[in-house]
Amino acid sequence: MTHGAVAVPGRPTLEEVARLAGVSRATVSRVINASPKVSPEVQTAVEAAIAELNYVPNRAARSLVARATMSIALVVPEDAHRFFGDPYFADIVQGISDRLDASDYVLNLQLAHPSSPTEKTRRYLLGGNVDGALVVSHHSGDHFLASIGEALPVVFGGRPMHARGASGRPTDYYVDVDNRLGAVQGTRYLIDSGRRAIGTITGPQDMPAALDRAAGWRDALHEAGLSDERVAHGDFTEESGARAATELLDRHPDLDAIFVASDAMASGALSTLADRGHNVPRDVAVVGYDNSRYATRGPIPLTTVAQPTKEMGIVMADTLLRLLAGEKPKRVSLLPTELIRRASA
């Protein structure tokens, strides 16, 4: 345990402010904490002193008495590369950061490499180093997270995770986008454009997000009395999208539209379509999902379902903040998606 206390020159203390303003420390504390019971004169005097001294409260001292650390952990049980490489996470973190900027809390990044023992992270979280935790991951929040939820306010972000606690009650707090509704939106748009033979390329069948999107596609179709037989499965990658499109085209030559569960797959599908001489969107319309780089990078800009990812981060942080403030926020927040119209449909 190294205690590298680098002597900070002269950070002013509350006491000095009090002296300069000619009041007691308690009074200074009151104006700092915006107590209503301070006379205007004293108030301004103290504020002047604070400004002059460039005073900033000592967080540690405050934490000590407030019994709160005023910091929350951002737990990332994900390989650093996956985490950083994914624009989805970038947006979430941006949102979290933005929301927290407007609060007194700071973010403690907790890279919980999935490989190495989680024990340290557990100890950290449970050790009272943070007042709450935000967990973002594509993975399901296994046992590890289930347990911390009992000792610490936690809100999960990202695709749906573990179902419900062993206790049977809806577990923890989380925010997610409404994948199903997003898929409905995308598919409806296709229907409204007059398409009738609408297929889908799904994501892996063991991922909730993929399942939900397929379900949404089906919902919209049923709602319009259309057939939901044109289905091919992919795994969210570009190549799988190309393959699935081939399959779809072979089996359903009448196909006039495809709702694809990810932009990457849609991009692959576009290649296949081009190879086979189908004009997009004239012959076959394509709607993607994610509004990722793929949506704008290719030759044909993708009409796609966008997720309010940054907003998710904001809501996550906000939910945790409310929890910490003793309020009772919603346990699950499902954010709406938005259809971005571009050239492919």
Partner DNA sequence: ATGAAAGCGCTAACAG
Partner DNA sequence: CTGTTAGCGCTTTCAT
In the complex with DNA, the residue whose CB is nearer, 16 or 79, is 16
Q: How far is the CB of 96 from a second copy (least distance, A)?
A: 9
Tell me if residue 210 falls in helix, strand or coil: helix
Does position 51 interact with DNA (CB under 7 A)? The reply is no
Contact letters for a second copy, residues 15-34 (x by CB under 8 A)? -----------------xxx
Interstrand relation of 285-290 and 332-335 (parallel, antiparallel or unpaired): unpaired
Residue 26 binding target from a second copy, DNA, none, CB below 5 to 8 Å by type:
DNA
User: Which string of x and - marks every residue 324-343 that binds a second copy (by CB under 8 A)?
Assistant: xxx-----------------
Q: Is position 15 an interface residue for DNA (rule: CB under 7 A)?
A: yes
Q: What is d(CA 165, CA 4) in angstroms, rounded to the nearest whole number?
A: 42
Residues near 67 by beta carbon (within 8 Å), at least 6 away in sequence: none
Q: DSSP string of 265-323?
A: HHHHHHHHHHHTT--TTTTSEEEEEE--HHHHHSSSPPEEEEP-HHHHHHHHHHHHHHH
Residue 282 binding partner per list DNA, a second copy, none, with a CB distance cut-off of 5 to 8 Å that depends on partner kind:
none
CA of residue 281 relative to chain centroid, distance:
32
Residue 26 lies near DNA (rule: CB under 7 A): yes
Nearest to 193 by CA among 60, 129, 285, 76: 285
Minimum CB separation of residue 37 from a second copy in Å reads: 15
The entry of a second copy, DNA, none that residue 38 binds, CB within 5 to 8 Å by partner kind = DNA
Left (φ > 0), alpha (ψ -120 to 50) or beta: where does 289 sit? beta
Residues 6+ apart with CB under 8 A from 32: 14, 50, 57
CB of 130 to DNA, least distance (A): 16
Name which of 19 and 196 has its Cβ closer to DNA.
19
The contact set with DNA (CB under 7 A) reads: 3, 11, 13-15, 22-30, 32-33, 36-39, 41-43, 55, 57-58, 61-62, 64-67
